[in-house]
Amino acid sequence: MCLLWNLPKMSSRTWSLFWGSRFVKTPLQNGIGRYVQQLQRITLKFCKTHGGSQGMRDYIEKELIHFAKENPGVVVYVKPRRHRSPCLKAEYLNGGEEYISMHRLPADDIVRWMAYLRGRSGYPTDRIRKDQHTDHPSIQGPWTPWLHRDPQTNVAQYPNEDLSCVEVMGRSATEELREMFKKQKLVSSYKRSVES
Amino acid sequence: MSLPKAFQLLRFTTYVAPRRLISATACTYGIKSRWQMPYRVTLKNRMKEMEKKGLLPTNARSDFIEWNYDSEIYAFGKRLHEEFDESLLRQALIDPSYITRETLRQQELGVEVPALQMSGNSELSTEGKDIIFDYATKFVRATHRVLPEEGVSALVDYLTSEELLSEIGHGIGLKDLILTEEYPPSQVTVVNAFQSVVAVLNRSSGLSRCHIFVKDFVLTQLVGKNIYDIWKIEDPVSILSNILLQNGREAFEPRLVFQSGKNTIQAVYQVAVYCEKQFMGTGMKWYGETVNAAVEQAAWDALSRLFQTTEAVSPIPFEKPEQLNLNDNKNMPIDNWSIDRASNIVMC
């Protein structure tokens, strides 16, 4: 049941006003030379007795060792705190930090949240304007009225009869279609007369 | 009123029934009043400003309880996919200022001869600096063989500049690992540590592995950069005429190709440069507000065509560094730049 009916509706413009938007970017040209995983350390905070940390305790017992083995570049800290709800704190190479509450979440969910944090770049989750970005949108440059123009017009003397007359165009597509239609009609009427 | 009391009450209850207490909703779903967000944004901006002015206390990451330097050192190498000699790597991350501070602190505590078995990274830093400079110079020469030596040195200066190297050092996570007096570490400290890391890699895994490291982290910073933003050509017209003179060609002939809005504030001219009736260049993307400015743009374009640094050239081959011909031969200097020699060099 949706009970959020009295939340104010937010247009994308209002959203961008507060949260901003950005283009796709990667820290330090990552991936052109080699890929460096941006997550540098992650802290799992939990309570040893409280029920809200049950999922986190299960995760630490069963899954954490696999995560640490698969990601030797990530320093994993486990921090027990008495009677406080569990959370994940991720720190990235570019100085970004992410904090996610894991209160009453089962171990399976924590596996997924860890995978999510592992793949992040560390930049904040802004709205990304496009899926791709280039610093050079056009090699040729912007269109100008001079592009592909005959340089002869530069030295023409005006008034000029040749340049002032109506440009002679070839047959248009509509005319072509009309012609084809006429031909088709002629052929079909000829066939009909032969059959009769 | 004429309505009975009970009916009035009923009306009241039907009105209230579909609504819930707003405070309960706010507690459950985190709905805030509309001044809450601007208030928090203001607080955040104020904090950013204080941080910029240095009014906020900055704790080093190593001050916190969840910190294990051994694990951090182990993860550092694994993250970069490199095998470092561990004791050398530890030495590379010790700034001399740290040793001075530790000695003083121990003396204050009453230790007369402090037992500090550590040496700083000064020596490693110079070694790494030379490696980076040497390889960057050779690589830039090999990938831009027609570019004059002045341009090569400008690019190498950019690649070995303090700003860029400290940015790279921060980007591979040196900020928290460096043992130094101040926190956050200064630019020079981070640069020294990065250069030392390069030197350590040279000693641990060999020079070729070290070159690949430098290529992946330092030289890739050239991607997406315009060479002429880094190497500023002051007077392209005189440089072009000088090159033509040196090569025994005729002086170049600027021709007005198009013009628009003459004698207005929006006047714009396009000029093409010809030499011995051969096209050399034109202001393709940048025109001039005056004829002289347009000539300058055209000369600049002619130079970038001569030096084979237009935007349409193929990208720098980072994935095949072994195919590059790295040697100590200098490129042609700009005062003695030969068109014939440049046309014999084929870039592939």
**CATH number assigned to the domain comprising residue B287:** 3.30.160.20
Q: Would you give the DSSP letter of residue B288?
A: B
**Chain B: residue whose CA lies nearest to A19:** B41
Q: What is the C-alpha to C-alpha distance for residues B326 and B135, in angstroms, rounded to an integer?
A: 9
Same domain? B144 vs B173: yes
Q: What is the C-alpha to C-alpha distance for residues B284 and A140, in angstroms, rounded to an integer?
A: 8
Our measurement of the distance from residue A79's CA atom to the centroid of its chain's CA atoms, rounded to an integer in Å, reads 35
Chain A neighbors of B79, CB-CB under 8 A: 36-37, 40, 72-74
Same domain? B96 vs B217: yes
> What is the domain count for chain A?
1
Alpha-helical runs (H) found in chain B: 5-16, 22-29, 36-53, 69-79, 86-92, 96-108, 122-143, 149-159, 162-171, 187-205, 207-217, 227-230, 236-246, 291-306, 339-344
Classify residue B33: in a domain, yes or no: yes
Q: Residue A121's pLDDT is what?
A: 92
Same domain? B89 vs B195: yes
Classify residue B310: in a domain, yes or no: yes
**Residues B230 and B321 sit within 8 Å (Cβ to Cβ):** no
What's the mean pLDDT in A100-117?
96
Chain B neighbors of A18, CB-CB under 8 A: 37, 41
Task: Compute the C-alpha angle B22/B27/B28, nearest 5°.
Answer: 100
- Distance of residue B153 Cα from the nearest chain A Cα, in angstroms: 22
Considering only the beta carbons, identify the residue of B31, B66, B168 that sits closest to A7.
Answer: B31
**CATH number assigned to the domain comprising residue A54:** 3.40.30.10
Are A139 and B311 a contacting pair at CB < 8 A?
yes
Task: Compute the C-alpha angle A52/A54/A58, nearest 5°.
Answer: 150
Angle B187-205/B122-143 helices, nearest 10 degrees?
Answer: 80
Query: Which of A119, A120, A96, A100 has its CA nearest to residue A110?
Result: A100
Considering only the beta carbons, identify the residue of A91, A135, A146 that sits closest to B258.
Answer: A146
- Which residues span the domain enclosing A68? 22-126
Classify residue A3: in a domain, yes or no: no
Q: Is A52 exposed, middle or buried (0-12, 13-18, 19+ CB in 10 A)?
A: middle
Classify residue A36: in a domain, yes or no: yes
> What is the domain count for chain B?
3
Same domain? B74 vs B180: yes
Are A79 and B66 a contacting pair at CB < 8 A?
yes
**CATH number assigned to the domain comprising residue B137:** 1.10.1520.10
Same domain? B74 vs B199: yes
Say what the ipTM of the complex is. 0.80
pLDDT tens-digit profile, chain B (348 residues) = 455 555 555 454 444 444 555 555 555 666 566 778 788 889 999 999 998 998 888 889 999 999 999 999 999 999 999 999 999 999 999 999 999 999 999 899 988 877 777 888 999 999 999 999 999 999 999 999 999 999 999 999 999 999 999 999 999 999 999 999 988 899 999 999 999 999 999 999 999 999 999 999 999 999 989 899 999 999 999 999 999 999 999 999 999 988 888 899 989 899 999 999 999 999 877 788 899 999 999 999 999 999 999 888 888 999 888 888 888 899 999 999 999 888 888 765
Same domain? B253 vs B217: no
Same domain? B73 vs B179: yes
Q: Residue B18's pLDDT is what?
A: 47
Are B220 and A151 a contacting pair at CB < 8 A?
no
> For residue range A145-166, what is the model confidence (pLDDT) as tens digits?
777 878 778 788 889 888 888 8
Considering only the beta carbons, identify the residue of A40, A95, A135 that sits closest to B224.
Answer: A135
> For residue range A9-63, what is the model confidence (pLDDT) as tens digits?
677 777 777 777 888 889 999 999 899 999 999 999 999 999 999 999 999 999 9
Residues of chain A with a CB closer than 8 angstroms to some CB in chain B: 3-4, 6-8, 18, 27-29, 32-34, 36-37, 40-41, 43, 72-75, 77, 79, 91, 93-95, 135-136, 139-142, 144-146, 149, 151, 154
Domain boundary among B179, B195, B223: B223
Q: What is the C-alpha to C-alpha distance for residues B96 and B189, in angstroms, rounded to an integer?
A: 9
Q: How many CA atoms within 13 Å lie on the side-chain side of A164?
A: 6
Query: Which of A28, A70, A123 to mutate to test binding with chain B, by most B CBs within 10 Å of its CB?
Result: A28
Q: What is the C-alpha to C-alpha distance for residues A65 and B276, in angstroms, rounded to an integer?
A: 74
Same domain? B209 vs B90: yes
Q: Would you give the DSSP letter of residue B316?
A: P
- Which residues span the domain enclosing B253? 232-314
